[in-house]
Structure 1
Amino acid sequence: MAFQHGLSGLNAASKNLDVIGHNIANANTTGYKSSRTEFADMVASSMGAGGGSNYGIGVEVAAVAQQFSQGNITVTGNNLDVAINGNGFFKVQQPDGSAAYTRAGNFKLDKEGDMVTNDGAQVMGFRVDTTTGIATSEPQPLSFPTGAPIQARQTGTVTATLNLDARANDAAGSAGPPVIPPTPRSTYGTSINVYDTQGVAVPVNLYFEKNGSNTWDVYTQLDDPTAVPPVVAAPIGQVVFDGNGVYDATASTVPMTVTVDPATTNPNNPPAPWPVTIDFSSCTQFGSKFAVADLSQDGYASGDLTSINISNDGMVMASYSNGVTRAEAQVALANFRNPQGLLAVGGNNWVESFDSGPAVLGKPGDGNFGVLRSGALEDSNVDLTAELVNMMTAQRAYQANAQTIKTQDQVMSTLVNLR
């Protein structure tokens, strides 16, 4: 036995206590992954000598291995808190532009509208085309319009779902017998607001007049005989049904469009009139009262961001004050062939290394990527009870190695004192 055995044991036990202390200190750190100290013996041998000449010379710390087991998920109720349930890491862009990876999903919006971590790193995700709803394949920093409202969108299509009464008489009436009075155009009518490029609402009226078997003329205004000259409206098209009361696309006017003039409600240099398509394909003609089930359009006024919600598949849904809720982005996840090869750089972040391999990006729920839990955080995976037991074991090992040095010192003193 020599001093180096005990010294190596003291160093190893001290490093083990450092790792245990670091784990205990981070027992409440969101997304923290515990580490453990792994030891290896050291053996001295002579080159070319037989196996009987090898002897141990102590211990060394072979590795400090990270344990990427799942931490408990705690519900917080904060919409910007996100936990990963399963494999994967959030990809973030650090202030210096470099990439890092984290399991801590306690995100926030800064004054610029960027989704960031506590140390200012930007969360990466796939932007979504607000027209098609399709996410891009190249991750970008997630940012939302907090400083200015979103731009208004001009209406392009109005979709009508309604029932026209199959029992209705022709609007022109009949001289009889029996005498059937004309049906006022306003009897079967509805209206909807559409939006111009400035986000100003323009009302569009729709009136229906029965004109022959299963045929209805569509108007956008009433006649005005008091006007000079008198106004006699012309239909913009016809809606035709088959014998079962189902919309007949081949006989109906398709596409049916109405030219909207924004000057009627927007006097401040309004945009030019534009065509809006009216989709009547969901309309029916059944023997029940005229009823409008749904009347929708694809335009909207400008609006301010009011809230953000993140779904299990990472889709970021933004709600605005104009009533629009749309997908703005999808949170990106990254995974590695060997997560234990990642290098911890502090701030709940890791960076890739040669041992970890390059990051593989994907979307939550795809392949072996985990799913997200909005309004929740992943707790540290440190087991405090186990760490306290490990600390006592490490302390005993430290004391025992100190005792070997003390014993070796006594042996050396005995040799020196020989007469």
Structure 2
Amino acid sequence: MSIYSAMLAGVSGLNANSSAMAVISDNIANVNTTAYKADRSDFEDLVNSQSSRTTYNAGGTRAVTRQLISSQGNIASTTATTDLAIQGDGFFVVSPISNIDSTTPEIAYTRNGTFYPDEEGYLVNSARNVLRGWPLDANGAISGPTASIPALVPVNINGISDSVTASTNVALTGNLNSDTTISAAASSGTYTAGNMAAGTVTADATWPVQIVDSLGGTKTLNIALLKSATANQWNVEVYSSPASNVTGANGLITSGTLAFTTSGEIDTTNTSAGLLSAINIPWAASTGLASQSIQLELGQTPTSTGAVTQHADNTTLTSTTTDGTTASKLDTLSIDEEGFVTATFKSGAKKKIFQIPLVTFTNPDGLKKYSGGVYKTTQQSGDPTLQQAGSGRAGTLTSSALEASTVDLAREFSNMIITQRAYSASSKIITTADQMLDELISMKR
């Protein structure tokens, strides 16, 4: 009987609009949830088979929830460098921090980039899901398979320290006064190599330099200079302080003659070859240091970064530049648009330690949604494809930024009013059909 189908159609309207109101409520509740993707209710009509042309059987309606996971939210800037937003397609690969030690972690995907280091150094987001990425070797290259999602490792910044690099070059920039009075030891010919290191002859100038050893510590070398009785030449000694750091007597490492041209530039022809080539430092066994060679950059070549001159001006050491990096703790992290995580250490050195990949899907709207803003694959979504950010279909990363919710409050409030009216109208169908049935029953009386 058509009147019964009308009542059932009203019931279907109540069910469909109740479901639609639930979707709207969820959207509004998550208006401030990072990377939340608003859902939408699509209504479908239900058609019953018609038994005749003179009567009609109402079919009613049903609400089908449509996921809009592929929609892009606005990118909002933040002050945390580990906050990440994806501009374009793609998802972060994450796993629950609760099973971080599992050999078969529970893999999921998210666009919630509220990452921060937890108490153990893992980068986790607000849902306590740890970010996974490619580890990089000392040369900044990916170590391990690049196409395997299970092979991705949790990003952990604990224990990261700058790799130690021993010094190999010391660049000196300074001037030796050409009018320096020749000392008695030099003029009388009583000076011999090692006298300045031993302290028996006072140097006209002593230039200390700091170098980095093989263990990342710093050591002091002294470059002592004594003007020679020979014009435009200086006696040079390189020795260690303290002397016990090396095996040479009184800490002496090497000695020689530093010569200048009549214009005050380095004279490589008359300068001792030992001063122009790499100087081997004979570290004492007690230091536990590896062998080390230092090249003094004095201006002997056009590419030398240092320059020592002899002019009629004050003797002074203007600057020293030493390469090598000491052991240093992590200072800050930065992440570029390709996902490279770069550690900056307190020494000023930088090192790439991880690369954050993105995963893309043929149909991201087909993913299954779970609490915490994570998704998992389904037959409708297709298989995940691991890609470098900014390549293929993958979007780019923005550091110090988060993706906002795609909820439009104005639209949701409008939909709420329409849905409420539709619900009331559906209830009116039921009460009206009930009154009609009551009239039908009353005819018997």
Same fold (TM over 0.5): yes
CA contact (8 A) 1:160 1:296 kept: yes
Q: For 1:415 and 1:275, how far apart are their aligned partners in 2? A: 108
Greater Rg by CA: 2
- Partner amino acid, structure 2, of 1:340: D
In structure 1, what is the Cα distance between the partners aligned to 2:256 and 2:392? 52
Contact in 1 for aligned 2:325/2:349 (Cα 8 Å): no
> Which residue matches 1:116?
124
1:70 alignment counterpart = 72
Q: Cα deviation per residue 1:250-288 (whole Å; 9 max; x = unaligned)?
A: xx999835235166xxxxx53144123648654477999
Q: State the alpha-carbon separation in 2 of the partners of residues 219 and 288 from structure 1.
A: 17
User: Partner residue of 1:270?
Assistant: 287
Give the one of 89, 92, 111 matched to 1:90.
Answer: 92
> What corresponds to 2:326 in structure 1?
300
Q: What is the count of residue pairs matched by the alignment?
A: 387
Task: Find the aligned partners of 1:150 and 1:86 in 2 and give their Cα distance.
Answer: 34
- How many Å apart are 1:38 and its aligned residue? 1.6
Contact 1:259 1:273 in 2 (8 A): no
1:365 has 2:390 as partner: yes
2-structure distance, mates of 1:311, 1:341: 29
- Aligned match for 2:349, one of 324, 327, 345: 324
Q: Distance in 2 between matches of 1:218 and 1:116?
A: 58
Q: Note if contact 2:162-2:330 (Cα within 8 Å) is conserved in structure 1.
A: no
Amino acid at match of 2:168: V
For the 8 Å contact 2:162–2:345, the answer to whether it is kept is no
Is 1:28–2:39 an aligned residue pair?
no
What secondary structure, in the 3-state scheme, does the structure 2 residue paired with 1:403 have? helix
Shift of 1:205: 5.2
Q: Distance in 2 between matches of 1:229 and 1:415?
A: 123
**Structure 2 Cα separation of the partners of residues 103 and 25 of structure 1:** 18
Segment drifting more, 377-386 vs 66-75: 66-75
Identity within the alignment, %:
28
Q: Distance in 1 between matches of 2:214 and 2:17?
A: 73
- Whole-Å separation in 2 of the counterparts to 1:218 and 1:283: 20
Quote the Cα distance in structure 1 between the aligned partners of 2:130 and 2:391. 23
1:311 to 329, 336, 341: 336
TM-score norm. by structure 1 comes to 0.74
Task: Determine whether 1:201 maps to 2:218.
Answer: yes
In structure 2, relative to structure 1, the CA distance for the partners of 1:233 and 1:392 (3 Å cut) is closer
Structure 1: give runs of 5+ residues left out of the alignment: 173-183, 211-215, 223-227, 240-244, 264-268
Q: Which among 255, 261, 275 is matched to residue 283 of structure 2?
A: 261
* Residue number among 200, 209, 213 corresponding to 1:191 in the alignment: 209
Q: Which residue is equivalent to 1:140?
A: 153
Whether 1:150 and 2:153 are equivalent positions in the alignment is no
Distance 1:417 1:194 in 2: 105
Q: C-alpha root-mean-square deviation of aligned residues, in Å? A: 4.6
- Code of the residue aligned with 1:24 in structure 2: it is I
Whether the 8 Å contact between 1:91 and 1:102 is mirrored in structure 2 is yes
1:207–1:219 CA contact under 8 A, matched in 2: yes
**What SS does the corresponding residue of 1:57 show, helix, strand or coil?**
coil
Distance in 2 (alpha carbons) for counterparts of 1:314 and 1:292: 42
Shift of 1:61: 2.6
So what's the TM-score if we normalise by structure 2?
Answer: 0.70
- Partner of 1:4 in structure 2? 8
Alpha carbons of 1:413 and 1:50: their partners in 2 closer, same or farther (altered >3 Å)? closer
Q: Distance in 2 between matches of 1:236 and 1:92?
A: 62
**SS class of match (1:350):** strand
Q: Is the 8 A contact 1:236 1:257 kept in 2?
A: no
* Aligned equivalents of 2:41, 2:156: Cα separation in 1: 40
> Quick one: distance in 1 between partners of 2:56 and 2:204?
105
Equivalent residue letter for 1:298: G
CA drift of 1:188 comes to 9.9
Aligned CA distance change for structure 1 residues 206 and 335 (closer, same or farther; 3 Å): farther
Report the CA distance between 1:209 and its aligned residue.
11
| Matching residue of 2:45 | 41
Q: How does 1:356-395 map to 2 (within 5 A)?
A: 356-395=381-420
